[in-house]
C-alpha cells in the first residue's frame, strides 16, 4: 500500500471530526481497510452522497493505527 504524506494528513484530520464525513473524502490508499471495517455499518445518505458518522470514523482511524503500527 502506497501512502502519501497527504493521506496521513487527511487521516489525522479525520481523527478529530465532529460532523458527518463524506465517504468520498477517504483517501484511496485506505479504501480497502475502510470497506472492510465499515461492512455492515450504517451510513447516512443525503442525495447521492454517503456519509459516515464521526464516532465510526474515529474508531476506524484507531483501528488503522493499531493495525499498521506493528508493520
| pLDDT at residue 37, rounded to an integer | 95
pLDDT in tens, 3-12: 889 988 999 9
Q: What is the pTM of this model?
A: 0.85
Domain holding 38, by residue range, is 5-69
pLDDT in tens, 38-70: 999 989 999 999 999 999 999 999 999 888 887
The mean pLDDT value for 7-19 works out to: 92
Number of domains in the chain: 1
| pLDDT at residue 2, rounded to an integer | 81
| pLDDT at residue 51, rounded to an integer | 96
Show the beta-strand stretches assigned E in 4-71: 21-22, 44-46, 49-52
Burial class of residue 41 (count of CB atoms within 10 Å of its CB; 0-12, 13-18, 19+): exposed
Amino acid at each position: 500500500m502506497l501512502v502519501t504524506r497527504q493521506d496521513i494528513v487527511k487521516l489525522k484530520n479525520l481523527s478529530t471530526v465532529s460532523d458527518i464525513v463524506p465517504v468520498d473524502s477517504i483517501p484511496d490508499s485506505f479504501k480497502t481497510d475502510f470497506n472492510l471495517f465499515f461492512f455492515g455499518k450504517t451510513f447516512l445518505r443525503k442525495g447521492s452522497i454517503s456519509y459516515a458518522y464521526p464516532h465510526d470514523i474515529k474508531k476506524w482511524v484507531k483501528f488503522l493505527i493499531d493495525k499498521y503500527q506493528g508493520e
